[in-house]
């Protein structure tokens, strides 16, 4: 089931009401779902490889803590932030300032220039994302959540 953007995200506590959470595709809802956004976002950074390493390790540890607590929504939100670390670092790898389009209306692209430092940041997040995607318990809990709640 798709992520439900019609929910009242300002008042919904997804830790107390996990049945309202939908996994969605990719990073959908990553900046909406509380209290997880507030817990994880302060640690999400990718400016340099050193910062990305510290950030990805902290968020991955949060993932493991949520896992230990049996909190699938927290696990999935940590996964989304890890994934977003990879995708945003890739965008900044390819386009200075992270802006792909010079003009969105016409589809005119900015010149693509590879930033090796941002590429390394993306790789660092990719490593953690791969660990999560291979985690059998995460996959089992994801399937169960989707089956039970949509």
**Chain segment 44-94, per-residue pLDDT in tens:** 999 999 999 999 999 999 999 999 999 999 999 999 999 999 999 999 999
Query: pTM here?
Result: 0.91
Estimate to the nearest angstrom the gap between the alpha carbon of 78 and the chain centroid: 6
- Residues 81, 41: contact at Cβ < 8 Å? yes
pLDDT tens digits, 11-23? 999 999 999 999 9
The token pair at 90 is 């890739």
């Amino acid at each position: 089931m798709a992520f439900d953007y019609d929910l009242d995200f300002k008042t919904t506590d997804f830790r107390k009401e996990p049945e309202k959470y939908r996994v969605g595709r990719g990073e959908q809802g990553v900046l909406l779902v509380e209290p997880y956004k507030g817990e994880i976002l302060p640690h999400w950074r990718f400016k340099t490889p050193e910062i990305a390493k510290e950030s990805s390790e902290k968020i991955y540890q949060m993932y493991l803590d949520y896992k230990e607590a049996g909190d699938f929504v927290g696990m999935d939100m940590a996964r989304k932030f890890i994934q977003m670390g990879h995708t945003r670092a890739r965008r900044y790898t390819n386009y200075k300032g992270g802006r792909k389009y010079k003009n969105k209306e016409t589809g005119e692209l900015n010149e693509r220039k590879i930033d090796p430092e941002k590429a390394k940041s993306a790789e660092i997040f990719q490593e953690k994302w791969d660990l999560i995607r291979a985690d059998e318990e995460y996959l089992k809990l994801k399937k169960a959540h989707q089956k039970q709640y949509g």
